[in-house]
Amino acid sequence: MVQWGTWPAQAAVTGRLDDILERGRAAGIKAPVVTVIGPVVALREELAWFDRRPLFGKKVLITRSRTQASKFRRLLEGLGAQTFEIPSIQTKPLEDYAELDKAVAGLKDFRWVIFASSNAVEAVFDRLAHLGLDSRALGGVKVGAIGPATADALAQRGITADFVPTRPVSEVVVQELSQRDWTGVPVLLPVADIGRDALATGLTEAGALVDRVNAYRTVPTEGVDAQAREALSQGIDAVTFTSSSTVTNLVNMLNGDRAALEASSIACIGPTTAATARELGLRVDLVADEHTVEGLADALVAHFAESKIVEKGSLTHG
């Protein structure tokens, strides 16, 4: 008997015709169910590729904005996970574009533009289009991208980043950028309204003339508090965080009830996000070595593989 075949919640039991119903009830098998009868059942162990995927049976909560969650969700589901989406943040347009439009219209006055996220790339290019401009406005301007996802967003618009740090962490970015002479160099930093100041501060201390301009807003998602609690009540195996704001907003959704997260593994995309989680009293179980959603998925696979080894060891010595 196979329940929810080829879905992340797939479950199966085998038996004889005289006991399969009893086995199914004992395993909690319910409709929709497909029952297979005959010699082909003997091939189950040989053909059971679906439930051998590394995250099969794991329930993973995704907290990033809905517009950015789809790629991560497909990645996790391809590895066998059952995903739940609680977008704790959402990106919103600015209420006033005067400052950003002024900076975008005067791109030729900057020697560098450093994008901290793909959202910043999208916001700047939207305003370029609004002003009747395109990527040619960046001609003669050096472009930096904090992280591979940001570099990809630029590449999709025909721009090859002149600088991509080895790790998309502000402190590492500042250290690697400090190897250049920034004295008197005008730099534009289009950022989220609640973005960290570490990059702007580091460049300013290095002598750069930094213009930090809000390109978009990051706001908590409204009306999903009950949804968050319902998802966590399902027995979530891992809660994933892809930015500090996703941590802060989920904790706020839960009214500071960290106990609701204690039964889940806390997975963070990078050290900055992990630091925020710890500051809010959460136990961080894993941090991705590569600070991308692909790296976070790899970290989850490694984490649960290690958990299986520990469980087997406990059974062996028990």
* 101-110 pLDDT per residue, tens: 999 999 999 9
What pLDDT, in 10s, does the model give residues 143-152?
A: 999 988 899 9
In terms of pTM, does the model score above 0.85? Answer: no
Q: How far apart are CA 233 and CA 261, in angstroms?
A: 10
Whole-angstrom distance, CA of residue 247 vs CA of residue 70: 19
With bands split at pLDDT 50, 70 and 90, how would you rate the model's confidence at 309? low
pLDDT (average), residues 177-184: 93
Domain layout of the chain by residue ranges: 2-51, 59-88+221-317, 92-220
Q: If you classify domain 59-88+221-317 with CATH, what class do you get?
A: alpha beta
Whether 92-220 and 59-88+221-317 are alike in CATH topology: the answer is: yes
Which parts of the chain fold into alpha helices (H)? 20-26, 44-47, 66-78, 98-105, 118-130, 148-155, 170-177, 198-205, 225-233, 244-253, 271-279, 293-317
Q: What architecture does CATH give domain 92-220?
A: 3-Layer(aba) Sandwich (3.40)
Residue 117: Cβ within 10 Å count? 25
- Tell me, what's the pLDDT at 159? 96
pLDDT at 99 over 50: yes
9-53 residue pLDDT tens:
677 788 888 888 888 888 788 888 888 887 777 666 655 556 678
